[in-house]
Amino acid sequence: MGMRCVLRFALLASLASLPLRASAEEACPRAGTLGVSRTVEIDTTGGPGFGMEHYKAYDFLQDKEVVLTFDDGPQKYATESVLKALADECVKATFFSIGKMALGYPAIIRDVAKAGHTVGTHTWSHKAIGKLKTFEEGKDEIERGVSAVHRAVGAPIAPFFRFPTLVDTKEAVAYLGKRNIAMFSTDIDSVDYRHQTVDHLVKSLMAKLDKRGKGILLMHDIHKRTAQALPIILAQLKAKGYKIVHMTAKAPVVTLAEYDQAIEKEAKGLPEVGAERPMSSIVKTVGGTAPENEAPSSSPTDAESEPEGLPPPLDAHPSSSAATEIGEPSSHEAHTDAATNAAQPSTVPAPGTADSSASSAIESSGSATVATGTATHSPVATVAADHTAKSAAAAVPATPPATTPQKPHKSLMERAKETWKLWFGD
């Protein structure tokens, strides 16, 4: 018994220092992670277009540079797993959110923004603008999407827009130009909406990237196979020496008051950002067994500890109506508008708008002509570079790892339980 007490005391003493160590380990950038090598600021004045599949003016990426983008979310479990994979490698991405999806899962899209990712928009309900009867319908899709995502996030979002099915129209391009909203196509489409194995998805995407050497990658954070493949994709990007570029906006998008008011009908009283009460303070189990996600206490130790691992397995949770998969169709043809069945949400009061006026970022050596006119400057400026990412990338092996998912990072409590079991048994 004496030795057992000594060991127990030693265990508790060692655990006392773990939160500080875990905190240090979790801070980004971390040695050995993929990280962000460069952050660029986009001046969206005039609505510049990016992505060489459709817009040829601004190819701002250097060899081996990659921009990660995700469409159609947020989605329960899938987006959460995508965020976990990105956080594990200290990388940032751009999310083009659908208005209805954002209002259906406001907590998740807020987590996207809080994690430092860029949030853009992808219309209100993913209708193909080119197939609508009038452009007024297309304008409504664009603006309702902007106002809805802005409300759901409860903070400024980027004036970044991606057309559903990647098909634009002259009227829409001209309108976005007047609204100072940048348009994003893609360089490499993962076609992750197609039925395929995770292994095939990884191999196909990496083959395209290796052939082109760089690019804006298009994925969807609503598909479970994408969430499962992402840790492997990030591992291979790191092993092959690719660098992540994070896109930010010089100024936030300015919403239109009439659409902010229209979104009020869709917003069922979501509390204002910062005024939310945690679920455990509102709903408490008083009879029966409390679920695992109901916090038993709010002690400093619990508050400082890291989250308990990954979200529940994707296959164990059937999709809700808001969770219907709505990826880009083959050959970019329009597809069933599953987003119109999104769950009726509750959303936040409209935050104030911000001035979107911005001057040119940097002068280019020549000029480029786009659909909205002739540009005499580049709208892209590098605002930050992470030199630690280069040294970290050089330290990784040149050969790609086996295409198996990396083990999830174990939480403080999981490590403590394993240590206790090792020393004292069950």
User: Pairing mode, if any, of strands 188-189 and 215-220?
Assistant: parallel
pLDDT at 405: 53
Residues 393, 399, 404, 407, Cα dihedral to 10°: -40
Rounded percentage of the chain residues whose pLDDT exceeds 90: 55
Tens digit of pLDDT for each residue in 364-382? 333 333 444 444 567 988 8
Tens digit of pLDDT for each residue in 127-177? 999 999 999 999 999 999 999 999 999 999 999 999 999 999 999 999 999
For residue 252, give both structure tokens.
């936030």
Tens digit of pLDDT for each residue in 245-273? 999 999 999 999 999 999 988 877 676 66
H-helix or E-strand spanning residue 188: strand 188-189
pLDDT at 426: 57
pLDDT at 276: 64
Domains and CATH numbers, the chain: 30-272+320-424 (3.20.20.370)
d(CA 141, CA 122): 9
pLDDT at 220: 98
Amino acid, res. 184: F
Beta pairing partners, 49: 183
Distance, C-alpha 59 to centroid of its chain = 22
d(CA 412, CA 426): 18
Determine the 3-state secondary structure of 174 from DSSP: helix
Q: Tokens 């797993």 identify what position?
A: 81
Residues 6 or more apart whose CB falls under 8 angstroms from that of 2 comprise none
Average pLDDT, the chain: 76
With contact defined as beta carbons under 8 Å apart, do 237 and 208 qualify?
no
pLDDT at 8: 52
Determine the 3-state secondary structure of 200 from DSSP: helix
**pLDDT tens, position by position, for the chain (426 residues)?**
455 554 454 444 444 444 433 343 568 989 999 999 999 999 999 999 999 999 988 999 999 999 999 999 999 999 999 999 999 999 999 999 999 999 999 999 999 999 999 999 999 999 999 999 999 999 999 999 999 999 999 999 999 999 999 999 999 999 999 999 999 999 999 999 999 999 999 999 999 999 999 999 999 999 999 999 999 999 999 999 999 999 999 999 999 999 999 998 887 767 666 666 666 777 888 888 888 767 554 333 333 333 333 334 444 343 333 444 444 444 444 443 444 444 444 333 333 333 333 333 333 333 333 444 444 567 988 887 764 444 444 433 444 444 545 555 666 667 666 665 665 555
Please indicate, yes or no, whether the overall pTM of this predicted structure exceeds 0.85.
no
d(CA 186, CA 234): 18
With contact defined as beta carbons under 8 Å apart, do 253 and 157 qualify?
yes
